[in-house]
Structure 1
Amino acid sequence: MKIHLLLILTLSSLLFSEDLDGKKVFETYCWGCHHQTAVAFGPPFNEIANKRSFEEIQAYIIDPKAMYKAFGYKRTAMTEFKLSDDERKAIANYILTYKGK
């Protein structure tokens, strides 16, 4: 019985989970400082996408203060957001769509 219940819960979570739209997450958290292809307070996504990996982008979102020091930047770090793993992945994937643009 427990196995059936676990199986039902797992399948229902898969059916009702939706992929996050990276653009919507970006517009919620990042738009104030970043633009897709123009310089704002922070660098544009096309610049980030051409310099950073998926993992580096997520690491920067998780701990911007540590990462800006690791990357050798001189100015203050971006705002630290408490995003879910899915939100970070959605933003990183969205940023990487600008690679080569």
Structure 2
Amino acid sequence: MGSPDGGRPIPIRKITNGKECRPREEIDTPNLNSIPNDIASTEEIDFAIGALTNHVRTVVEESERAVPASSDRRKFPPDILELIGAKNAALRRLSAYPTL
């Protein structure tokens, strides 16, 4: 008998905790503090967009965690899917003839 995954590495997927991405009372980050209060040129607009993008990227990366991609319960091996299909078909046949 081999390993259940057939010897392949387990794929990893990242999920983000949205609660950690919410705004906080005080924001003291160099990225956001570097944005000028009065934006007058397209260069300053581009800089502000870049600073905000970097801040959002940092917050999201810090709130991510890696989980096995196979943790999705809808992805079963073919033999299990066949058994589930047979069970559902039997239940449909049974419901055609209700009993008291």
**TM range, smaller chain:** under 0.3
Where relative contact order (Cα < 8 A, 6+ residues apart) is larger, the structure is: 2
The answer to which structure has the higher strand fraction is: 2
Give the TM-score of the pair, scaled to structure 1: 0.27
Larger relative helix fraction: 1
Q: Could you state the TM-score of these two structures normalised by the residue count of structure 2?
A: 0.27
